[in-house]
């Protein structure tokens, strides 16, 4: 088994909250493509951008267990979709305990 984790902020960088429909679409993708997920809500955090601006975030953390590494491209596809759909420059991920910032840079 491969444990994957992705953190997605509940609002964009302008503070606009994402809709229930947005979350339902993400969760439907996890179920349809990978079979399921676990969700943890209200995960606090903060990050500083390249210009020094500090962002306080509240995120949803999704944990998905993959049966094999062959499912990793499908998971990465969903993560990339989520990064674009939720208007994020980058999002924090983890694969089997190895953290990575997944984004455009």
Give the DSSP letter string of 37-70. -EEEEEEEEEEE-TT--EEEEEEEEEEEEESSGG
Are the CB atoms for 64 and 54 separated by under 8 Å? no
Percentage of residues of the chain with pLDDT beyond 90: 78
Q: What is the pLDDT of residues 8-47, one digit of tens each?
A: 999 987 889 999 999 999 999 999 999 999 999 999 998 8
Q: Taking 70 as the threshold, does the pLDDT of residue 94 lie above it?
A: yes
pTM of the model as a whole: 0.91
In the chain, where are the structural domains located?
2-99
Architecture of domain 2-99: 2-Layer Sandwich (3.30)
């Amino acid at each position: 088994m491969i444990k994957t984790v992705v953190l997605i902020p509940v609002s964009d960088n302008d503070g606009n909250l994402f809709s229930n429909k947005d979350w339902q679409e993400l969760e439907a993708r996890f179920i349809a493509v990978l079979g399921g997920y676990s969700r943890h809500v209200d995960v606090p955090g903060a990050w500083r951008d390249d210009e020094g601006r500090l962002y306080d975030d509240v995120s949803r953390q999704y944990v998905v267990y993959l049966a094999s590494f062959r499912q990793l491209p499908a998971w990465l596809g969903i993560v990339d979709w989520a990064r674009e759909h939720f208007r994020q420059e980058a999002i924090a991920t983890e694969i089997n305990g190895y953290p990575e910032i997944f984004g455009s840079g």
